[in-house]
Amino acid sequence: MRDLTTDGVWFFTDLMSADQAAAFVQRVESLGYSTLWIPEMMGRDPFAHLAFLGTATTELRLATGIANIFNREPGPMRQAANTVAEQTGGRMVLAMGVSHAPLVEGVRGLAWSKPLSTMRSYLDRMDASMIMGVEPAEPAPRLLAALGPKMLELAAERADGAHPYWGTPEHTATARSILGPDKLLCVEQKVCLTTDPSAARAAADGALALYATLPNYRNNWHRLGFSAEEIDGRAPRFVDAVVAWGDADTIKARLDEHRDAGATQICIQPLHPDNQLGKVDWDALEALAPGA
């Protein structure tokens, strides 16, 4: 089982067939990455898929990025994490979040409630839920998808750490200062291996198309000093801050900024320079692989 201090890969596998996803994770594992992070959107159930991917790998950690707490009651969330952890020899990592009102209410048709109090109550009920059966070799670390200071404080108090998404090294430094020195801080960073500014920013724009409308991310970008005009207009100052692009050395320098700011693990999400959703840029993953 690989150490969570080694970089991981964050990627959407929903557009791959099961066989393609298995081949993908095997290659990710062969490159030395520690963890595969997959989202929960409108595709596969992430826990069932991670259990399947666990059968195709032996050392790779398997992480939700990010399991939506509105989609599951606390007991079943804990059951799912324990099941995958037990069946993969303790390789499961559970990152949970409150998602966004437009997705919870508009897409899922579920009731949305205040994020901080909802998460606190959810953790109370999760901890109180009854779990019976075979214990995993290693319990799944519990991370919160925390961006703002209050949710980061809750992660420090009630979780093993945090999994911020769409952040910057400046946000990583803030998160570390709130979490304290001992918590996990697994930060997602989008990268685009190209020295062509137009191609890089087009790929970034493709990735931002959905997320730029979601309030939790916008609020965090505002806290980082970006205006609504910069976000909506995809100003280079904003785009270049949230997506690392350039040659391998330039991108590695950004990853090092996260490490210097206190990141435990960087979850690398490669954007293909061709701006094709779901197309894996193996050139980037090979160039940025641990030890490369």
Per-residue pLDDT tens digits for 217-242: 999 999 999 999 999 999 999 999 99
Task: Tell me whether residue 229 is in a domain.
Answer: yes
DSSP letters spanning 121-167: HHHHHHHHS---SPPPSSPPPEEE---SHHHHHHHHHHSSEE---S-
- What angle is formed at CA 159 by the lines to CA 156 and CA 162, rounded to 5 degrees? 70
List 265's β-bridge partners, or say none: 186
Task: Tell me whether residue 1 is in a domain.
Answer: no
Task: Tell me whether residue 263 is in a domain.
Answer: yes
pTM above 0.85, yes or no: yes
Task: Tell me whether residue 292 is in a domain.
Answer: no
Domain span including residue 220: 8-287
Mean pLDDT of 17-42: 97
Written as six digits, the tokens of 207 are 């990735």
> In this predicted model, what pLDDT tens digit does every residue of 63-110 receive, in sequence order?
999 999 999 999 999 999 999 999 999 999 999 999 876 776 767 776
> In this predicted model, what pLDDT tens digit does every residue of 175-220 receive, in sequence order?
999 999 999 999 999 999 999 999 999 999 999 998 999 999 999 9
Task: Tell me whether residue 234 is in a domain.
Answer: yes
CATH number of the domain at 131, please: 3.20.20.30
Q: How many domains does the chain have?
A: 1
Indicate the Cα dihedral angle 152, 157, 162, 164, nearest 10°: -10
Give the model's pLDDT for residue 117.
Answer: 97
Task: Tell me whether residue 232 is in a domain.
Answer: yes
Task: Tell me whether residue 3 is in a domain.
Answer: no
Task: Tell me whether residue 219 is in a domain.
Answer: yes
